[in-house]
Amino acid sequence: MPPPSTKEDWKTRIQPYLSTSLREVSDAITRTEVVQNWLHDASMEAAEGLGGVSGMQGEMQGYMRMMNALEDRFPELLAAVDELTEGCGHVDLHWRPMNPNFSRVKVTFDRDFTVKLFVRLDTPTLEAARTALHTVADALPEGDPFPNRPNTVTGLVAYDGSCLGVRVREHLGDEGQGRYRTVTLLPKDRDDLENLSMDDAARHLLQLLAPSDASSAV
């Protein structure tokens, strides 16, 4: 595969992984030769530019220097991420100054929780909302949950420029009852909606992301 150079190239590389794992998105970006070469050179330049500054202050200065260089070098990547994530995500850097070979470029979201995956709501319908919830649920850890410690995954669902946190938990039922799932919706500007069934969560998700369409959705 040729190295990505245009916004469309980056979108093609990133898009398949967004709804699976943001770690895989990071891998898809970081493992490209053009990013590997840039990370090596930019890390050296950032470290050299610190002079006698050390500790947390030095690391922050180096990080900002690296981020400025990243934005200058890869505007097409930034534009691709902005478009794919409905403006909710941005490119960030995990810079390891003591071991720059392990530095990574990643996609992050301004939320106070860790986002595992990103899902776009294709259309403002209940069916699409259910599909989005099941996509998040598909990323649940494998294996049985422990009593009082459910398996958990948190994603971000987006529609028309708005994004909503979705946390799915898989619980171990009472003896002989198997497993069951609950959903918590995590709006940015209001209280969480907790312990919802998948169907109730789909309705609320639609009301929060597409209120003008929710009343007529079937």
Summarised one tens digit per residue, pLDDT across range 45-75 is 877 766 666 667 767 888 888 999 999 999 9
**pTM score, whole prediction:** 0.89
What is the model's pLDDT at position 102? 82
> How far does Cα 145 stand from its chain's mean position?
24
> Taking the domains of the chain in order of start, what are their residue ranges?
7-109, 117-214
SS3 170: strand
Structure tokens of 176?
A: 């002989």
Dmax (CA) for the chain in angstroms is 64
Query: Which residues, other chains included, contact 33 with Cβ-Cβ below 8 Å and sequence gap of 6+?
Result: 3
The pLDDT tens digits of the residues spanning 24-48 come to 999 999 999 999 999 988 887 877 7
Q: pLDDT for 128-148, tens place per residue?
A: 999 999 999 999 998 888 877
Separation CA 49–CA 70 (nearest Å): 16
* Overall average pLDDT of the 92-118 stretch: 89
Cα distances from 185 to residues 26, 136, 158, 202, 212, in angstroms, run 25, 12, 13, 10, 19
